């Protein structure tokens, strides 16, 4: 790899001339970064594609092209570009930078004169404002107004997250049967045997979400539903023997359906993730409206329909609890650590801690710690890099306020298919253990019989668009 880093011509002179900051050849493609002193902007070029950035937006170069710059050069180039942009600012500040400095000076001035408002202060008031009049055309005024507005929006954006960089739609589901029972329906496996589940504990889940991705975070709206089941019985006939009465138990209804107690937990979520500073720390906030019911819910409806269409065992549902609804709030703090990095592979580790409060009581309120390791394998699409494969392993431990605990752990693989440089379709598959409170509560029979709960098998599909 041939790399040229031109430092001295920019770092030693306030009035720098145009020239290259960086040049290399990567995967037989020329990559360069050029500074145009006349336009006061950087041009990042990869192959035949060029991207122009005003000097005061130099950080966008690393945000949008981080996967295209070799790791051996990334930190050094980042430092060089930061120093270069700072040096140029001292000699020819842009209107945006002047505006920012002016606002800071205004704040300082207000701090200085604010004591004059006090009746105890020796001064009776702040100095009178002076009116300065200068000649300006309507076109100049409009350009300046537009510049102020554009700068404010570009610098902050929605929820102060910067520019919108992408959107994502995703549909995920899980089941205690691989491929949602398709193997059993094809006669390849037996219900409740081996890798096949038996509808005890957590038996089904589904999740759909839409996400807006920004430079400094993301906003997601999500619909979730989790289903839990356990077999039960109903009182039957009373028999008398030896002068004593005995109550029989009935396990099926008149149509031959097996009695089951079911719990459907449905939620609507709004999630906001915000990056903090430049050290890969983030904060996640989730607001949720949750409903817990045994006679309705998305999971219950989908299980009934799926079992009927697949010819699987059907259930007669028994009422066993009152319906509950309420709001929940969850906050999480975490940080991404780079474990390994090369031109085509990125490995990160993410520890986090969270806390949840719920109107539904102590059974839904908890503190948690979690850890995740993720490997990303990059591939080329056009002149860009994209994460073609992802593999992650995760574990999350919860401690509820009523002293119950729970554990979630598993592995997951994602494969992306590039439609073009900006649009991707991806598939997800995974397997995990859900030993959270409701899985254990409804999976007691499974635990007594097999010593463990059934594995949860996940499948998903999604679409991503990058701006």
Confidence band of 358 (pLDDT split at 50, 70, 90): very high
Question: Looking at 382-449, which runs of residues are DSSP E strands?
Answer: 384-400, 405-418, 423-435
Residues above pLDDT 90, as percent of the chain? 40
Query: According to DSSP H, which parts of 163-297 are helical?
Result: 182-185
The pLDDT-based confidence of 75 (bands split at 50, 70, 90) is confident
Which percentage of the chain shows pLDDT scores above 70? 76
Q: What does the pLDDT read at residue 370? A: 98
3-class state of residue 140 by DSSP: helix
**Which tens digit of pLDDT belongs to each residue from 383-442?**
888 899 999 999 999 999 999 999 999 999 999 999 998 999 999 999 999 999 999 999
pLDDT tens across 206-249, in order?
999 999 999 999 999 999 999 999 999 998 888 888 889 888 88
Q: How confident is the model at residue 3 (pLDDT cuts 50, 70, 90)?
A: very low
Give the tokens for residue 339.
Answer: 């474990």
> What are the tens digits of pLDDT across the range 11-53?
434 345 788 888 888 777 888 888 888 888 888 888 878 888 8
- The answer to whether the pTM exceeds 0.75 is no
378: Cβ contacts below 8 Å, ≥ 6 apart: 67, 343, 344, 345, 346, 385, 386, 387, 388
Residue written as tokens 């379709």? 425
- More confident: 391 or 305: 391
Q: Show the domains of the chain with their CATH numbers.
A: 3-91 (no CATH), 95-155 (no CATH), 161-466 (2.40.128.140)
Q: How far apart are CA 432 and CA 226, in angstroms?
A: 15
Note the pLDDT of residue 177: 80
Q: Which residue has the higher pLDDT, 417 or 119?
A: 417
Residues linked to residue 1 through DSSP beta bridges, in sequence order: none
Q: Regarding predicted confidence, which is higher, 212 or 54?
A: 212
pLDDT score, position 47: 81
Cβ-based neighbour number of residue 244 at 10 Å: 7
Question: Which residue(s) pair with 317 in the sheet?
Answer: 260
Note the pLDDT of residue 45. 85
235: Cβ contacts below 8 Å, ≥ 6 apart: 247, 248, 249, 250
């Amino acid at each position: 790899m041939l790399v040229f880093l031109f430092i001295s011509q920019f770092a030693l002179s306030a009035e720098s001339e145009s020239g290259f900051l960086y040049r290399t050849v990567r995967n037989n493609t020329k990559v360069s970064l050029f500074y145009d002193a006349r336009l006061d902007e950087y041009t990042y070029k990869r192959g035949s594609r060029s991207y122009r950035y005003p000097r005061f937006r130099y950080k966008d170069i690393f945000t949008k092209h981080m996967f295209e710059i070799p790791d051996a050069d990334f930190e050094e180039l980042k430092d060089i570009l930061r120093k270069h942009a700072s040096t140029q600012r001292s000699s020819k500040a842009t209107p945006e930078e002047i505006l920012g400095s002016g606002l800071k000076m205004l704040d300082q001035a207000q701090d200085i004169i604010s004591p004059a408002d006090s009746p105890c202060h020796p001064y009776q008031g702040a100095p009178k404002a002076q009116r300065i009049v200068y000649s300006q055309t309507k076109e100049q005024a409009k350009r300046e107004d537009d510049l102020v507005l554009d700068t404010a929006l570009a610098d902050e954006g929605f929820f102060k997250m910067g520019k919108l960089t992408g959107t994502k739609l995703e549909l995920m589901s899980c089941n205690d049967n691989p491929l949602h029972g398709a193997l059993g329906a094809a006669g390849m496996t037996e219900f409740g045997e081996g890798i096949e589940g038996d509808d005890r504990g957590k038996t089904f889940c589904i999740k759909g979400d839409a996400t807006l991705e920004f430079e400094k975070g993301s906003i997601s709206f999500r619909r979730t539903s989790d289903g839990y089941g356990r077999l039960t019985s109903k009182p039957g006939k009373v028999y008398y023997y030896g002068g004593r009465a005995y109550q029989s138990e009935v396990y099926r209804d008149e149509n031959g359906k097996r009695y089951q107690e079911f719990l459907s937990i449905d939620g609507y979520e709004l999630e906001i993730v915000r990056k903090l500073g430049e050290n890969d720390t983030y904060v996640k906030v989730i607001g949720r409206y949750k409903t817990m019911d045994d006679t309705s819910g998305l999971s219950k409806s989908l299980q009934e329909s799926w079992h009927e269409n697949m010819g699987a065992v059907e259930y007669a549902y028994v009422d066993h609890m009152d319906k509950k609804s309420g709001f929940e709030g969850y906050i999480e703090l975490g940080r991404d650590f780079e474990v390994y990095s090369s031109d085509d592979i990125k490995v990160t580790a993410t520890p986090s801690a969270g806390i949840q409060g719920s109107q539904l009581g102590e059974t839904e309120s908890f503190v948690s710690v979690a850890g995740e390791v993720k490997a990303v394998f990059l591939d080329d699409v056009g002149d860009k890099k994209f994460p073609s494969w992802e593999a992650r392993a995760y574990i999350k431990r919860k401690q509820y306020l009523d002293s119950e605990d729970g554990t979630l752990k598993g592995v997951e693989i994602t494969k992306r298919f590039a439609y073009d440089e900006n649009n991707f379709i991806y598939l997800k598959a995974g397997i995990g253990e859900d030993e959270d409170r409701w899985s254990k509560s409804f999976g007691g029979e499974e635990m007594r019989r097999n010593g463990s709960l059934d594995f949860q098998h996940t499948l998903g599909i999604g679409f991503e668009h990058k701006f």
